[in-house]
Chains A and B, each alone.
Chain A
Amino acid sequence: MFRITILLVLLQINSAYADLHWQPVPTAPDPHHKRGAKTLLLTDLDETQPVEIVLIHSDLTRSDLSHDSATIQLKPTGKNSYHALFAQQHSEGLEVSAIRYIYLNGRPVDASPQELLNETTSRLQIIPAPLPREHWKYESRNSYFFKILFDGNPLASHPILASTSFGSSQIMHTNEDGIVTLTIPEDFPKIIVQRNATPPGELRLFTSIEADGTRHETSLSAPYRVSPQNWKSASLGFLFIGFGALTGLLLIRKLPAYNRRKRS
């Protein structure tokens, strides 16, 4: 209970601590699916402290992207699959980190996304379990799993705050395996009833823990899209499968049967 209260105080009320997280900077749409740079902004950065930014490539090599600005241009790496964009700040008694997994296109790599997730970034980690496969996105109304680790060990009954760019928030608790189940709310202010027509929202997960006199805070951010259930009707789908089957059954009765053997 104490930890929940602390989390609420720190994350929901306008606290002195920063809610460091990554968020995309919108760019013009690309009609031909070219692979341009992505621009990302590190939000709620403590300008008085140095920040360490690392891109962990899909083949697990690392690039140091640290610089003075909170905005970075993520250029194509030429490697396929997920990359992890990680930022961390240290100060007296506080360690703050933010991570975002970004899918880039390129040549196939040997390492799997699971190996990328196994890479240790900070002592406190929020890990998607699993990351969406290609063509699979976080969507409203659907449930997803995330694992909370501290020093590589799952944190049981640990609170985690989920918030969205449209103002929804909820506090959840991990189970005994350190896994939390999140159902993404349908909170888009305006839904355009067509795939990819509604701009995506931003999902942010925050959690924190005190250990060895240091406060550890971390965030995971990811885009989420409108549930296709808004324009896809499963019941109509099953109805038309039924029509098809019925037509087939009627055809079965009508089809004349021939013997394909040529009779001499």
Chain B
Amino acid sequence: MSTIMNLTVLRRFIQLIMFIFLVYGSVIVGFYAADKISGALPSLSCAYDQMNADYCALIPLQHQFHHRLGSAVDSGQFLMIVMPVFTTLATFFIMFIILNKAFCGWVCPLGFFQEVMQLLGQKLGVRKVDSLSHTAVDKVRPVKWLMLGGLVFGLPALTSLGFLSDEWGDPFCQICPSRILTTLLSADTDQVFVDTSTPSYMVLSILGDFLFGLTLALAMTLRQPFCRICPMLALHAVFRKLGLARLVKKGTSRCDKCGLCAEACPMDIRELQTDFNHVEKSHDITLPDCTLCGRCVEFCPDKDVLQLRYLNIPIFSADPNYFKKRKKAQKQWDEIKVVNLDTARKVKS
């Protein structure tokens, strides 16, 4: 392995290709073809982005709950909501079963953008926070479930049943940083606004803008800040045992002392180090926050302790030789800085 050929470089290359396709897809596949792809695949549709080709299951789910639940309850015809939701989830599964949570780590444009911001922060020498404290991680982890349950299903359902005004029909999209990011990147500023028409719209639009700015800045120092609370991560987590791609561990007694895998993980999954040590058999450790980025496998120094598997076939395994070269490549890369704005404090253990 040369110093620049490794799994992370391959992943970034795929992320870049997917980013171009998902953000500028209509230029590639054509204006109407993009519309058709979006229409035919509800798991790939962002109604706000006119240039994409496209990628989110969350807006059809919100719309179906917003527009159909009230009518279904009124009429007693629950098929009118079950069928569209089933169709959305079925098309989501097509993509999900193929990719599993690798969608987050290899495809999602917002995830890639945060990684680019992190690289930018590192090259500018902005203070790097490798990890949040365990307490902070434990507090942040449930937020993604609240986002999924509350913003994707709960508020649209309450709106449809008449408990909330119409503004709360697609609350997640109103605050989604990806909506602002992908439209801005296609030179469309229409999604950057404060909507003064009603108090609810004003609150949602301010939250959306603020969250985008916050993500932009935090991503320069903390890895994947928005991914940690993204409802798509939660939706993937629900079905993660169905996907064909897996992260598998066959721990050894050394795992307890090492922990390089946990250090490499951009999502602060400390269980990579603490769970399934001293075991005879491989275990699926595709944990709820995992994005299948494979960094833990790259930085595991023991042979075959961690593996990325597809259809249970190992496609990338931990290897001591790979580890040595990867660590050296990372060190060389980290030393390259354009400027040094680092004001780091002493790291707590």
User: Which residues of A approach B to under 8 Å, CB–CB?
Assistant: 32-34, 80-81, 108, 112-114, 130, 133-136, 193-195, 228, 231-234, 236-249, 251-253, 255-264
Contact = CB atoms under 8 A, between A and B. Distances in A.
Given A237-B205, A245-B214, 20 more contacts: A32-B70, A81-B36, A108-B36, A112-B36, A114-B32, A130-B32, A195-B197, A232-B193, A233-B196, A244-B211, A245-B216, A248-B213, A248-B214, A248-B218, A249-B217, A252-B222, A255-B222, A257-B130, A259-B131, A264-B257
Interface in B250-268: 256-260, 262-263, 265, 268
B346 to A, nearest CB: 8
Contacts of B222: 252, 255
Contacts of B74: 32
B348 A256 contact: yes
A104 B257 CA distance: 63
B197 A194 contact: yes
A193 B196 contact: yes
A130 B220 CA distance: 39
Contact of B35 (A113, A195, A238): A113
Interface string B15-40: 00000000000000011111110111
A237 B189 CA distance: 10
B33 to A, nearest CB: 6
Given A114-B32, A248-B218, A252-B218, A240 B206 contact: yes
B159 interface: no
B198 interface: yes
A112 B30 CA distance: 10
Contacts of A231: 195-197
Contacts of A243: 210, 213
Interface string B133-147: 110010000000000
Interface string B228-266: 000000000000000000000000000011111011010
12 contacts: A81-B36, A195-B197, A232-B195, A232-B197, A241-B212, A244-B211, A244-B212, A245-B214, A252-B127, A252-B217, A252-B220, A256-B348
B98 interface: no
Given A33-B67, A257-B348, A259-B348, A247 B197 contact: no
A236 B194 contact: yes
Contacts of A246: 213, 217
B122 interface: no
Contacts of A232: 193-197, 205
B50 interface: yes
A252 B117 CA distance: 13
